[in-house]
Copies of this chain bind each other. A is one copy, B any other.
Amino acid sequence: MALNKNPYKGTRDFFPQDMRLRNFIFGKMAEVSQLYSYEAYDGPLLEEVDLYLAKSGEELISEQIYSFTDRGDRLVAIRPEMTPTVARMVAQIHRETIKPLRWYSTPNLMRYEKMQKGRLREFWQYNADIFGAPDNLGEVEMIQLAVDIIRSFGGTSEMFEILLNDRRFVDFVFKSVIGIEEAMATKLYKLVDKKAKMPEEKFKAEVLTTVGDEKKAALFNEYLLLQNIQDVITYVEKNNDSSEAIAPLVSFFNLIETLGLNEYVKFDPTIVRGLDYYTGIVFEIFDKHPENRRAIAGGGAFANLLQIFNEQPLAGVGFGLGDVTFTDFLKTHNLLPDLSRPEVEVLISYMDSSIENASFKLAAKLRQKGIKTELYLGEVKPKKIFGYAEKRGHQFAVILGADELVKNEIQFKNLITREIHTIALSDVDGMSQIVKGN
């Protein structure tokens, strides 16, 4: 029986054109990260499952992880997210390393997802993290970086927005304003995280069950109506509570405004993030287009990520942005360049095999000059070669014949301008100037 030619369910083959897109996306992200002095890192494909048990969300572990027992009887998993890995790495070195650490990565991750638009089982994710920055400043820088990354693709505040909340404020609301216990607060977090996916009625009913009485439910519903930082301040004042709980959020929004980032950032009470490790500001980046209204990135601040390694706390902020949803965003807003053809500069071809050697040599010399050169292997008729060169996206084509070799003179044809440069076969510098001057 013939083997299946398709990739494994939920994964993709990246043919050259797909790969150009992936490299375009992560290349730009790497570029912007480096402008922010972030350094590239990577971790292993597999981690011991214990690492995820300790900190990731429950659903991720029980339903979505690719785990198995290795030949040495260790329970391991293909990484479903990068934060536990980066925490493990930072735990190794943070004591003797100058801080803050600013790191980014672009790993492939796997999750056993139900397939739907924007979701695949293997995906690539840009991750950025800063560890050991002073309060709020790491958070602000992370928002700046995220905005600049999306802007570098042509994204504008009409196309995306960052919805943001603060888990310290949510904790305060749940415990001090509404007055519910820790265990209930955890349930309420999970409920809010799923709000967008539930019918309104069902959500309200579950809230009531969770908080216990109508009065508490009303306080909670009031919280859900907060639309900006001014609403937050008023809500806290009205409930006669100290403003300490919202001091970081207020100062964060002040800085965001001074930096002109407020057109991108919006307070949203429903953003709490499902993963257990967040402790401060949390955010999600949303596509604003009505036909692709969904989160394309998410992140936040975590204070205690190193605790599971018995290390002192080290404040961190990070976010992740996956290739599948981000590509949907770029497509939705027509932000993708034409990547249909490879970037190859010169095509060398020869009419008969007696000049094969000379053709190989010419190609080698052009490459030494840094010119992307394809050698058409095997003898070929001129008629065929121009069609081939255009399909492949070459800018220049050279056809070597025995006559040209005798005369030591070749014709360098610009396929875009149709101009023909006659040049000595030995004048590789001249050819290089023609190509690079193009």
Q: Which of A1-20 contact B (CB under 8 A)?
A: 2-9, 11-16, 18-20
CB closest residue in chain B, given A103: B16
Q: Which of B13, B36, B51, B141 contacts A43 (CB 8 A)?
A: B13
Contact B98 A310 (CB under 8 A): no
The secondary structure that dominates the A interface is: mixed
> Could you mark each residue 104-120 of chain A with 1 if its beta carbon is under 8 Å from any beta carbon of chain B, else 0?
00001010100000000
> Could you mark each residue 372-398 of chain A with 1 if its beta carbon is under 8 Å from any beta carbon of chain B, else 0?
111101100000000010011000000
Contact B37 A374 (CB under 8 A): yes
Instruction: Decide if A22 is an interface residue (CB 8 Å cutoff).
Output: yes
Decide: A36 near B357, CB < 8 A? Known: A3-B54, A48-B4, A78-B45.
Answer: no
- Kindly list chain B residues whose C-beta atoms are within 8 Å of the C-beta of A9: 72, 74
Q: Which of B6, B74, B375 contacts A8 (CB 8 A)?
A: B74
Q: Which of A53-100 contact B (CB under 8 A)?
A: 54, 66, 68-72, 74, 76, 78, 85, 88-89, 91-93, 98, 100
Contact A37 B3 (CB under 8 A): no
CA distance A259 to B370 in the complex (A): 19
Tell me how far the C-beta of A122 lies from the nearest C-beta in chain B, rounded to whole angstroms.
6
Decide: A367 near B148, CB < 8 A? Known: A137-B377, A377-B100.
Answer: yes
Q: Which of B8, B43, B68, B373 contacts A48 (CB 8 A)?
A: B8
Contact B19 A371 (CB under 8 A): no
- Kindly list chain B residues whose C-beta atoms are within 8 Å of the C-beta of A112: 70-71
Contact A364 B144 (CB under 8 A): yes
Instruction: Decide if A234 is an interface residue (CB 8 Å cutoff).
Output: no
Give me the 9 closest cross-chain CB pairs, A-B, nearest first. A11-B44, A68-B68, A37-B374, A2-B310, A16-B39, A134-B378, A14-B42, A137-B377, A35-B367
